[in-house]
Chains A and B, each alone.
Chain A
Amino acid sequence: MRRLRSALGFVCLLAAALTSIAQKLPWQSSDSSNPNSSQQVRYLYPQQVTLQAGKSQTVDLHFRIENGLHINSHTPLQKSLIRTQLMVAEPQGVNISAVDFPPGSDYAFPADPTQKLSVYSGEFVLKMHITPQSGDHLVQASLRYQACDMHTCFPPRNAPMAVDVIAH
């Protein structure tokens, strides 16, 4: 009986060990299982910030654009182009007074150098001006963007993001 119990314990330990090898932790989820895998822009960080309650502060929101692509800046040079915008759902107890966008870089398609564009590429940072009340708040937002590569443009998309704001 004792032998059986020992063998059972061994099997359980082995199973636990093998499971820990096979299991991917939440931040290691592969693109195929990620519902956002069709996104060309991803929110990087922070996932959580600790701020002073009742005081206006700035939180830097880091985004990354897929290699080889660019998106229009917040101030594109042509009226018909879709600007990058952040739509924030302001939760109770949080005031977001403004979001600052960085200036875009100059870009022109090789086939038409006369068409000037203002774009973001690689990583870019938005500055969110936030005044939280004391407590734990989840700030959710959506980045609306429209991406292109050197020859092709993709339909506009919304990249979701969320920051857990802890205010003392």
Chain B
Amino acid sequence: MRRNVIVLTAMVVALALMIAAGIMNYLERRSQRSALKGPQMTLVPDDGTAAAGAGSPAMADETADDANTTPLNGKPAPNFTLEDLNGKKVSLASFKGRPLVVDFWATWCAPCKVEIPWFEKLHDQYAGQGLEILGVSADDLDKDDPAKMFTEKRDIADFATKMHMNYPILIDAEAVEDLYKLDAFPTTFFIDRTGKIVASTVGLTPRDVIEADIKKAIGAGASS
């Protein structure tokens, strides 16, 4: 008799646990379903004035955030050798002794297109202080298909011409994406004369922040 009670109790406990599991599963699925029905992204109205007014403060706030930089700040810039659009090999080490900006961009990256004209102007503005800028394209290259790769290189060159890019353009950022921890574009590194990364930015960054970072690169390591 006593044994039957124990077995019955055990079965009731197990059954209760199973019901509890079912309820927990149901509640979790319901919360996941309601999360899927959550608010969707709000687009900025395409009327020019409202868009500029609504977006600018948010951008300034975010660029001040640590999330918009990279873990390479303060470290020596990893060396690389990449080809330019004419097939000439260009090494980062060859720029040592000069302040340098390395901008990783892509033809499909709309925010990059906003920054590129700023780099062109800043390149001219600070050329007297030795500033060099390198643009490294992150566009895909079909290395196994020479004909396709030729077209892809030509598209990058056409884009650079259209954008009036007045600084060297290197290709195949993918080859250095691990070195520079690239996962979004634009990503820009500001390197001083000693080859140290003094600042970096990820995403569209206000022009005055870019200029301040350039000044940092020019100023830092100047006496060494």
Contact = CB atoms under 8 A, between A and B. Distances in A.
A25 interface: yes
Interface residues of B, number: 59
B10 A6 contact: yes
B59 interface: yes
Interface in B100-149: 106-114, 138, 140
B10 A64 contact: no
Interface in A99-139: 105-117, 119, 121-123
A110 B112 contact: no
A24 to B, nearest CB: 9
Nearest to B68: A151
B17 interface: yes
Contact of A153 (B3, B17, B106): B106
Contacts of B205: 151
B10 A13 contact: yes
Contacts of B203: 149, 151-152
A156 B140 contact: yes
Interface string B4-47: 00110011011001101110110011001000101111011011
Given A3-B3, A109-B44, 4 more contacts: A28-B32, A80-B108, A146-B108, A156-B108
A-B complex: 5 closest residue pairs judged by Cβ atoms: A110-B55, A122-B40, A17-B17, A13-B14, A10-B10
12 contacts: A14-B10, A67-B38, A67-B40, A68-B41, A107-B44, A109-B111, A115-B110, A151-B63, A152-B111, A152-B204, A153-B110, A155-B185
Interface of B: 3, 6-7, 10-11, 13-14, 17-18, 20-22, 24-25, 28-29, 32, 36, 38-41, 43-44, 46-49, 51-52, 54-56, 58-59, 62-63, 68, 106-114, 138, 140, 155, 159, 183-186, 202-205
